[in-house]
Amino acid sequence: MTDITPISAHSRPVVLITDDDNALRSLLVMALKAEGYEIEEAINGEECLVKYARLQPDLVLLDALMPEMDGFSCCQHIRALPDRPQIPILMITFLDDRESIDQAFQAGATDYITKPIHWSVLRQRVRYLGSAE
């Protein structure tokens, strides 16, 4: 098992989870907290950007379609920032939506997972991406 080396001032790697679905967000929090990550939450792309600037997370988990600002725009904004070009961004798409997946990579996502979430795939992918930066 590879550990994530935190690059921020936090003692544990920080994952910023952004999803407008309260139920799914609480499951994501539970799944990743159990893996030892420090979790921060946002309910849309705008809030994600604000928290991203303040917290400098080690990984961003982004739902694709959300109100206010969606995951694609949010991802583009993060990628446009000069400081951390390699920050892993994992996009969440609904079912196997080819168009959204293409759009996610065009926006700069590092990888994607689909809903319904396969929880062990999520854990492995977060672990892998976190160690890859």
Partner 1 sequence: METIQSPNLAQGQLEQQTEKLIDADFKNPQQELEESVLDQLTLQAIREMGGEEGNFVLSNIIQMYLETAPPYLQQIETAIATQDLDSLRRAAHSLGSSSATLGAMNFAKLCKELENLAHSGSITTAETLFFPLQSEYEIVKRALTLQLGEKYD
Which of 20/87 has CB closer to partner 1? 20
From candidates 3, 8, 34, 132, binder to partner 1 by CB under 8 A: 34
Collect all residues with Cβ–Cβ distance below 8 Å to 116 and sequence separation of at least 6.
none
N-term to C-term CA, the chain: 16
Q: List, in sequence order, every residue forming a beta bridge with 40; answer none if it has no partner.
A: 16
Can residue 106 be called a binding residue for partner 1 (CB under 8 A)? no
Can residue 46 be called a binding residue for partner 1 (CB under 8 A)? no
Can residue 119 be called a binding residue for partner 1 (CB under 8 A)? yes
Instruction: Confirm if 44 and 21 have CB atoms less than 8 A apart.
Output: no
| Burial status of residue 133 (CB atoms within 10 A of its CB: 0-12, 13-18, 19 or more) | middle
Can residue 121 be called a binding residue for partner 1 (CB under 8 A)? no
Can residue 62 be called a binding residue for partner 1 (CB under 8 A)? no
Provide the binding-site residues for partner 1, judged by CB under 8 A.
Answer: 20-24, 26-27, 30-31, 34, 63, 65, 67, 94-95, 97, 115-119
